[in-house]
Amino acid sequence: MHPRQFRIRVFFGPVILAFLFAFYLSLNAQSTSDTPPSYEHVHQLTEQGKFDEALSSLNEISKSNRAAKNLAHEFGVIYYRKGDYQNAVPSLQRALAENPNDAEAIQLTGLSLYLSEKPAEAVPYLEKVQSWYPSANVDASYILGVAYIQTKNYANARAIRKNVPGSTGFRCRLSFYRAPDASARLRPCRRRIR
């Protein structure tokens, strides 16, 4: 073997290996970019507050796999966390049609309806949540009580009031609706707030 041929083989051997390795990496990168994102990736984006990116990733999942489970639930949760309650409600209701025992979807549907200023529609969902933990969740009791007040269901609001210990705002709001005249309505609230 001629010394020159040896130098060419020694030089081109690593170059060819480097080229093959780079080609392998590019094929691997293309195959990973073609795979749709996972629910884990969507949850990471949601936790980071990147709701629009999470929604687009979820759309990719739905396009690539029409039979993917819990899509409506995931869409509803992201819309709720984004504060887009108008879009959260239909997604969460679809999730409830798929799984009527989805506790998170029931709770978020009630809250989304309440926050969309539809307290009458929210009450059945909020009552269901309240039935699970009657005295454990003060926030759920408060929201249900306010929804009762907004729908003029004062008897149920008074019953819920017992589950809201120390909530001056809720009690004042309730007494506002019980008292016959405006001056009597404000007196108990002024005393409690001071």
Sign of CA dihedral 190, 180, 123, 89: negative
Q: Where are the alpha helices (DSSP H) in 35-164?
A: 39-47, 51-64, 71-82, 85-98, 103-115, 119-132, 138-150, 154-161
Query: Which of 23-32, 70-79, 178-187 is predicted most confidently?
Result: 70-79
Q: Is the pLDDT of residue 140 over 70?
A: yes
The Cα–Cα gap between 68 and 24 comes to 31
In terms of pLDDT, which residue wins out, 125 or 172? 125
Query: Which of 71-85, 133-147, 149-163 is predicted most confidently?
Result: 71-85
Q: State the pLDDT at residue 5.
A: 55
Domain segments of the chain as ranges? 10-117, 122-194
Mean pLDDT of the chain: 76
Across the range 87-95, mean pLDDT stands at 94
Q: Is the pLDDT of residue 135 over 70?
A: no
Please report, rounded to a whole number, the percentage of residues in the chain having pLDDT higher than 90: 27
Across the range 44-64, mean pLDDT stands at 88
pTM of the predicted model, to two decimals? Answer: 0.67
Q: State the pLDDT at residue 91.
A: 94
Q: State the pLDDT at residue 186.
A: 47
Q: Is the pLDDT of residue 147 over 60?
A: yes
Q: Is the pLDDT of residue 4 over 50?
A: yes
Q: State the pLDDT at residue 129.
A: 86
Among candidates 139, 194, 191, which has minimal Cα distance to 170? 139
User: Which architecture, in CATH terms, is 10-117?
Assistant: Alpha Horseshoe (1.25)
| Confidence band for 59, pLDDT divided at 50, 70 and 90 | confident
Please report, rounded to a whole number, the percentage of residues in the chain having pLDDT higher than 70: 61
The Cα–Cα gap between 70 and 40 comes to 13
Q: Is the pLDDT of residue 53 over 70?
A: yes
